[in-house]
Amino acid sequence: MDWAMLDNLRPAWLNPTLLATVIAMLEAVAILLVAVLVSAVMTVVERRMLGLWQDRYGPNRVGPFGSLQLIADMLKIFFKEDWIPPFADRTIFLLAPGIAMASLLLSFVIIPITPTLGVADWNIGLLFFLAMGGINVYSVLLGGWSSANKYALIGSMRSSAQTISYEVFMGLSLMGVVATAGSFNLREIVEAQAGLWFVIPQFLGFCTFLIAGFATTHRHPFDQPEAEQELADGYHIEYSSMKFGMFFIGEYVGMLLISALTVTLFFGGWHGPLLPPFVWFALKTGVFLLLFILARAALPRPRYDRVMTFGWIVCLPLTLLNLLVTGAIILLANPA
């Protein structure tokens, strides 16, 4: 087909710039939709995997091999009574799940999926992610606060303390990568890993980032804010129906985001032999998603104050050490 011919058919108002914008927008919407969809599918995948690891079946009744479980769950959650407690602070109560979903979802725009696919190509990419992570704390804080429930309050208290502590070194843990790649731009960071994945030179950074990632997504064993056995679901205890659903899916979006970021920053993103870039990216991300689930199946929950101590006493010095060593090596290698 002759693309030039097609170009002639184009109406005059549809100039190439606009066309490119529209395509980019559609691409962005598609990526975000896929992110949400994958997160939703993850809820079922998690239950099946937990079943596998726990010597039981998991949900296997709806559709062949339980494949339609997700649809059943979505229908159910849509038709649940959407209840707002009369004692809650209504506006903030409504706002919180929106923030939870939006802040994490927006972070996806910086992720380069393949050499050509990806929403935004920003020089501040990594900073944008950290900023969105910061905003995400508010969803838990406000949700717990506005519920006017003591369990929710304790949950949000834990969450804000934990997230703030872990964000301190989450940012620092990435600085080694940034220094090595010489850029905040994720696309450039991936390209810098063509020869050697950063997980090797930045192993400490990888460990601390992954721990911080678990902590900021409130995934087990850092699920202190919801801690079923202690706080009976913590900050979202008063939420029902889709508002609960947004917190719920938000958690999986967070998992997906951290997995994708880990792959991008430490495991060479789309790089890999034989298979197309997208497949490599998806496979690597899948491994980390499974790691999230496996951690939940395998580990007990540490006490809340130990989590904080671990963050400040162990992880923070490690990241600082990592940053220091990385800096020293870079200076030695490139004497200015």
Partner 1 sequence: MSTDATAAIVHTLRERFGDKLYCEQPTLTGMPVLWVRREAIVEVLADLRRLSEPFEMLYDLTAVDERMRSHRDGLPAADFSVVYQLLSVSGNRDIMLKVALDERDLSLPTVISVYPNANWYEREVWDMFGIDFAGHPNLRRILMPPTWNGHPLRKDHHARATEFDPYTLTVEGQDKEQDALRFVPEDWGMQRERDGAEFMFLNLGPNHPSAHGAFRVVLQLDGEEVIDCVPDIGYHHRGAEKMGERQSWHSFIPYTDRIDYTGGVMNNLPYVLAVEKLAGIQVTDRAATVRVMMAELFRITSHLLFLGTYLQDLGAMSPVFFTFTDRQKAYHVIEAITGFRMHPAWFRIGGLMQDLPQGWDRIMQEFVNWMPARLKEYERTMMENSLVRDRTRHIAAFDTQNAFDWGITGPNLRATGCDFDLRKKRPYSGYENFDFEVPLGSNGDAFDRGQLRIEEMRQSLRIIQQCIDHMPAGDFKADHPLTTPPPRERMLEHIETLITHFLQVSWGPVLPANESLQMVEATKGINSYYLTSDGSTMSYRTRIRTPSFPNLQQIPALMRGGFVPDLVAHLGSIDFVMADVDR
Residues within the interface to partner 1 (CB under 8 A): 50, 53-56, 150-151, 154, 220-221, 223, 227-230, 232, 296-306
- Shortest distance (Å) from residue 308 CB to partner 1: 11
- Shortest distance (Å) from residue 172 CB to partner 1: 25
User: What is the number of other CB atoms lying within 10 angstroms of the CB of residue 85?
Assistant: 17
- Shortest distance (Å) from residue 239 CB to partner 1: 17
Residue 240 buriedness (CB in 10 A; 0-12 / 13-18 / 19+): middle
Question: What are the φ/ψ torsions at residue 189 (nearest 5 degrees)?
Answer: -65, -45
- Shortest distance (Å) from residue 298 CB to partner 1: 7
Of 53 and 122, nearer to partner 1 (C-beta) is 53
**Two tokens at 312?**
């400040």
Determine the Cα angle at 79 with ends 74 and 83, to 5°. Answer: 115
Of 185 and 224, nearer to partner 1 (C-beta) is 224
- Shortest distance (Å) from residue 275 CB to partner 1: 33
Residues contacting 17, CB < 8 A, separation 6+: none
Of 129 and 239, nearer to partner 1 (C-beta) is 239
Q: How far apart are CA 216 and CA 136, in angstroms?
A: 9
- Shortest distance (Å) from residue 297 CB to partner 1: 5
Of 93 and 304, nearer to partner 1 (C-beta) is 304
Residues contacting 179, CB < 8 A, separation 6+: 323, 326, 327, 330
| DSSP helix/strand/coil, 115 | coil
| 310 DSSP 8-state letter | I
Q: How far apart are CA 222 and CA 227, in angstroms?
A: 9
C-alpha radius of gyration, the chain, whole number: 21
Residues contacting 163, CB < 8 A, separation 6+: 133, 136, 137, 140, 215, 216
**First-to-final CA distance of the chain:** 54
**Two tokens at 172?**
């620092």
Of 201 and 311, nearer to partner 1 (C-beta) is 311
Of 76 and 306, nearer to partner 1 (C-beta) is 306
Residues 196, 198, 204, 208: what is their CA dihedral angle, to the nearest 10 degrees?
A: -150
- Shortest distance (Å) from residue 293 CB to partner 1: 11
Residues contacting 32, CB < 8 A, separation 6+: 105, 108, 109, 119
- Shortest distance (Å) from residue 202 CB to partner 1: 26
Of 121 and 305, nearer to partner 1 (C-beta) is 305
Of 157 and 318, nearer to partner 1 (C-beta) is 157
Pick left, alpha or beta for residue 137 (phi over 0 → left; psi -120 to 50 → alpha; otherwise beta). alpha
- Shortest distance (Å) from residue 45 CB to partner 1: 16
Of 73 and 223, nearer to partner 1 (C-beta) is 223
